[in-house]
Amino acid sequence: MSSFFERVRISLSRILVVFLIIIRVLANGGWEGTGVDLVIFLIGCILVGVGTLGRLWCVLYIAGYKDNTLITEGPYSLCRHPLYFFSFLGAIGVGFASETLLIPSILAVAFWIYYPHVIRDEESRMVQLHADKYQKYKESTPTFFPSFNNFKEPEQYVANPQIFRKNLFDACWFVWLVGVLELVEGLQEYHIIPTYFTIY
């Protein structure tokens, strides 16, 4: 059974994202027109691309398996929580796509406050489900930051296409958020929506 932190993870993430988008709607980007904004946006796009592709890679491996089978290949041979790692990259990328440093900083702090609890609870459940097998995996594979020392992938892999398709939306939301931020910036430039303060 999922813990409290796991159950509310998605809801809290959505609330935080909506809050930060509202801030960006109300605020001017302080780097606008300096060239720094373009560099920050480019960094954001790269991170969003890596995060999105990484999440799709993870979803392919866990689609239909998640708790029933211990997945230790592909992205799960790099670290024990690659889905969260790529989600972190994507979220920080969206933050940079806002062309500010404040928003990615808030996202990073929020992630590091909350997700250790999610990871701890998830690992406790996996130990209960897979016992010694998970303990061995835990000893040989990093928790969060990937390492290619033990990378392995099968020649063929059977995934559940229905579950994979259902998870495509979750894997791609970073890309759509970048589009929302660009729309907001365009509306601000044409003075269709007013701004009340400046953030950097």
> Rounded CA gap, 41 and 181, in Å?
11
Q: Which of 72, 61, 51, 52 is CA-nearest to residue 164?
A: 61
For residue 135, give the H/E element and its range: helix 102-140
Q: Which of 87, 91, 64, 61 is CA-nearest to residue 75?
A: 61
200 pLDDT higher than 90: yes
What does the pLDDT read at residue 1? 56
What does the pLDDT read at residue 195? 92
Query: Whole-prediction pTM value?
Result: 0.91
Confidence label for 192 from pLDDT (cuts 50, 70 and 90): very high
Length of the chain: 200
Task: State the CB neighbour count (10 A cutoff) for residue 165.
Answer: 11
The single-letter DSSP state of residue 198 is: E
> Rounded CA gap, 171 and 58, in Å?
9
Residue range 10-37, pLDDT digits in tens: 788 889 988 999 999 999 888 988 899 9
- Domain boundaries, given as residue ranges, for the chain: 8-199
Confidence label for 6 from pLDDT (cuts 50, 70 and 90): low
Residue range 135-190, pLDDT digits in tens: 999 999 999 999 999 899 999 888 888 888 888 887 788 999 999 999 999 999 89
Structure tokens at 35: 């060239």
Rg (CA), the chain: 19
Three-state secondary structure along 142-168? Answer: CCCCCCHHHCCCCCCCCCCHHHHHHHH
Percentage of the chain exceeding pLDDT 90: 68
Structure tokens at 200: 């950097």
Report residue 84 CA to chain centroid gap. Answer: 6
Q: Which of 131, 140, 165 is CA-nearest to residue 72?
A: 140
What does the pLDDT read at residue 32? 86
Residue range 127-137, pLDDT digits in tens: 999 989 999 99
